[in-house]
Amino acid sequence: MFKNLANVAKRCFNAVKRGSTRLLLGGSLMLTAGAASAAVPPAVLTAVTDSLADVATIGAAILGVIVAIVAFGWLRRIVK
């Protein structure tokens, strides 16, 4: 892991020398993402997991309605 972090730091320094701020921003976001997710309490993780299941159910229902509307339209075109 330290080799990877050293490579990221080296690339960031080289990017600054060249004036590329996108790589510097991406590297810093990548390094802070691991630290940000480490302090999440388990209750929050279960709540997010439960809400993801609800979102998947609602998404499947909406997709089913859209497919039904499109199928009904196709059937109406065939009958005409």
The count of domains in the chain is 2
Q: State the sign of the Cα–Cα–Cα–Cα dihedral 51, 40, 4, 7.
A: positive
- Could you tell me if 18 and 34 lie in one domain? yes
Average pLDDT on 26-48 reads: 71
Pairwise CA distance, residues 60 & 73, whole Å: 20
pLDDT for res 36: 55
Residue whose C-alpha is closest to residue 30's, from 3, 12, 44: 12
- Could you tell me if 34 and 54 lie in one domain? no
- Could you tell me if 55 and 75 lie in one domain? yes
Average pLDDT on 39-58 reads: 86
- Could you tell me if 32 and 48 lie in one domain? no
Share of the chain above pLDDT 90, in %: 29
Residues 15/24, Cβ–Cβ less than 8 Å: yes
Q: Which domain holds residue 9?
A: 1-39
- Could you tell me if 80 and 46 lie in one domain? yes
pLDDT greater at residue 18 or residue 24: 18
- Could you tell me if 50 and 27 lie in one domain? no
Q: How confident is the model at residue 67 (pLDDT cuts 50, 70, 90)?
A: very high
- Could you tell me if 57 and 68 lie in one domain? yes
